[in-house]
Homo-oligomer: A and B are copies of this chain.
Amino acid sequence: MPQQFVVIIAGGRGERFWPLSRRARPKHLLEVVGSGSLLEQTLRRVAPVVKLANTVIITSAEQARALRAACPGLPKENIVVEPAARNTGPAVALAAALIAARDPQATFAVLPADHVVRAVRAYRRDLKAAFAAAATRKVLVTLGIRPTAPATGFGYIRCGGRSIRAGGRSFARIERFVEKPPLAAARRYLADGSYLWNAGMFVWGVQSLATAFQAHAPALWDAFAPVRTALATGTPRQLKGAMRAAYAGVERISIDHALLEKVSNGVVLPASFDWDDVGSWAALSRHMVADAADNRVSGEGVVVDGRGNLVIASPGRVVALLGVNDCVVVQTDDATLVMPRARAEQVRSVVQALERKPSRARWL
């Protein structure tokens, strides 16, 4: 029987949750929502569906050490370090090579490491149904999230009229992928009802994927031919060299752009679970309890005469706000960030400003 695998994409530059996140400690390694880091929660969520031995994490050299420490039960060879960050297109091509080397008939899911899902049983049911569809119907499955707001930060998927059934669920044919839209379009998509958010969660068979790559992204697929050869017959050292060569030449492109927008066998499963990518400090508010003045405080915080603030204090330290409204204040051992909630999507500009400081290293 063909095996099932999970490939967790653990990228991230540690910018959006600065100063808590750092280059070597991106969001998925933080315990910002729920118990344990978001990556640990992802592993726990998947574990009953796919055994740990079949779980592969693709990550960067910068965070490999922290990641190994965070995943003590994971076989060492299941943590794969990309020589460079090239977006999800090359990462999926690499994953396909890695999984095919273990089982050429396998199906595998691609999942982000840093999302929040509370309805874990619904999540697992959906994942199993997606595996069933990928295995039996040779389709490329995307899990789509029913929009709850006119978000401009996500890509959308427009569901087509036809549908297929597998694992007891209906999968809609994908009519098209839509780039992150302006607000007016996002509002239309929300009202329309046939658009879902693209959350970067995919399930497919190794063979279906290879066929699609060869048809629609042959250059990207061919770039990884030496990697496939090294996996089949080479030494670990040869594999490392082949990976370095592949990444040196390959285009930086998402799997959506490289492949999924072009295939005709793409289907989407509307997720039956809640989902939040917690994309910023402000987004974290949704997971915190507000006090009577709509302030959300983690740790020791004091808000005098202020409303609508998000306050994060590190252990043993206190954060005090006086006459401040609708701000985010985050304090860690060695850094403090203050900004209006409305600027929470722009924390990257602070990280960029820090990069220009001579004394920056310790804070990045």
Contacts and interface: CB of A to CB of B under 8 A. Distances in A.
B319 A350 contact: no
Interface stretch (A76-84, A138-146, A336-344): A336-344
Interface in A175-215: none
A359 interface: yes
A350 B19 contact: no
A336 B322 contact: no
A336 B324 contact: no
Interface stretch (A7-15, A237-245, A326-334): A326-334
Contact of A300 (B300, B347, B349, B359): B359
Nearest to A309: B338
A339 B359 contact: no
Q: What class of interface size applies to chain A in its complex with B?
A: 35 or more
A304 interface: yes
B323 A339 contact: yes
A40 B362 CA distance: 34
A336 B319 contact: yes
Contact of A305 (B19, B317, B349): B349
B304 A318 contact: no
Contacts of A334: 316-318
Given A304-B353, A349-B304, A19 B359 contact: no
A37 to B, nearest CB: 24
19 contacts: A300-B357, A302-B354, A304-B349, A304-B353, A305-B349, A313-B336, A317-B334, A318-B334, A318-B336, A319-B336, A320-B335, A320-B354, A321-B337, A321-B339, A322-B339, A323-B339, A323-B340, A323-B346, A324-B327
Interface in A289-326: 300, 302, 304-305, 313, 316-324
Contacts of A354: 302, 318, 320
